[in-house]
């Protein structure tokens, strides 16, 4: 099973992917986390400049780390993408990469949360890029570059909208339903 988590900053993609990881037993690939983990490398230092300003890291950098990660054996039976793709070119690169490896994408979970709730969640989190200016910029980038991916995946019939404004437990129930429905529609 291969799943993309789509949604604005603070929607709970990471939290839900972490829960789904034990349910599905597939790895959780967070590009934000991978970039933060590479902070001591030249690539990571380059990325950090964009991240602290709330801007997206260039597509080629992000696609490059995903290409490498997908080669790991634990991704053979599936994985969850959290925070990737974030632009149409990244989605196109992912499509190419997955089809070259005969790895179908099964489901895109679009987490919906009202923007006022998101700002409260992010301000409470306190990561270095959770300053008000950086948060503003991340929303701007989200609307401009990432939101169009909803239509991109809707047109393929693999998009499921999830109301993610409820408690993490409730949201996870919605996600489990969507995943279970996909599993049963995929099985012969
Ligand atoms: P959030 O979802 O709260 O914004 P992430 O950890 O997913 O947090 O991302 C943090 C930052 O990492 C982003 O603001 C961006 O600078 C960078 N980043 C993560 N994933 C991508 C991506 N797919 N493309 C470009 N930049 C990314």
Instruction: Encode pLDDT of 129-167 as tens digits.
Output: 889 999 999 999 999 999 999 999 999 999 999 999 999
Note the pLDDT of residue 83: 97
C-beta of 86 in contact with ligand 1 (< 6 A): yes
pLDDT at 188 over 90: no
- The whole-model pTM stands at 0.95
Q: Check 45, 125, 140, 170 and give the catalytic one.
A: 125
Look up 138 and say whether it is catalytic. yes
> Region 45-55: what's the mean pLDDT?
94
SS3 category, 134:
helix
Go through 130-164 and write b for each residue having 16 or more CB atoms within 10 A of its CB, e for each that does not: bbeebbebbbebbeebbeebbebbeeeebbbbbeb
**Could you identify the atom of ligand 1 that is nearest to the CA of residue 54?**
14
Average pLDDT, whole number, for the chain?
A: 95
Look up 160 and say whether it is catalytic. no
Q: Check 127, 140, 156, 170 and give the catalytic one.
A: 127
Look up 127 and say whether it is catalytic. yes
CB contact at 8 A, 168 and 12: yes
Look up 46 and say whether it is catalytic. no
Residue to substitute in 31, 70, 144 for testing ligand 1 pocket (most ligand atoms within 8 angstroms of CB): 31
């Amino acid at each position: 099973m291969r799943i993309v988590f789509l949604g604005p900053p603070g929607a709970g993609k990471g939290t839900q992917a972490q829960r789904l990881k034990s349910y599905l037993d597939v790895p959780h690939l967070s590009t934000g986390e991978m970039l933060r983990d590479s902070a001591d490398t030249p690539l990571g230092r380059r990325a950090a400049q964009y991240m602290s300003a709330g801007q997206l890291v260039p597509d080629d950098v992000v696609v490059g780390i995903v290409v490498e990660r997908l080669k790991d054996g634990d991704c053979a039976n599936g994985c969850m993408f959290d925070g990737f793709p974030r632009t149409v070119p990244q989605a196109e690169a992912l499509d190419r990469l997955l089809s070259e490896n005969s790895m179908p994408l099964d489901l895109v979970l679009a987490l919906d949360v009202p923007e006022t709730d998101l700002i409260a969640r992010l301000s409470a989190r306190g990561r270095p890029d959770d300053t008000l200016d950086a948060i503003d910029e991340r929303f701007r980038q989200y609307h401009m570059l990432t939101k169009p991916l909803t239509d991109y995946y809707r047109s393929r019939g693999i998009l499921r909208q999830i109301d993610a404004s409820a408690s993490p437990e409730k949201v996870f129930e919605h996600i489990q339903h969507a995943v279970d429905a996909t599993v049963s529609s995929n099985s012969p």
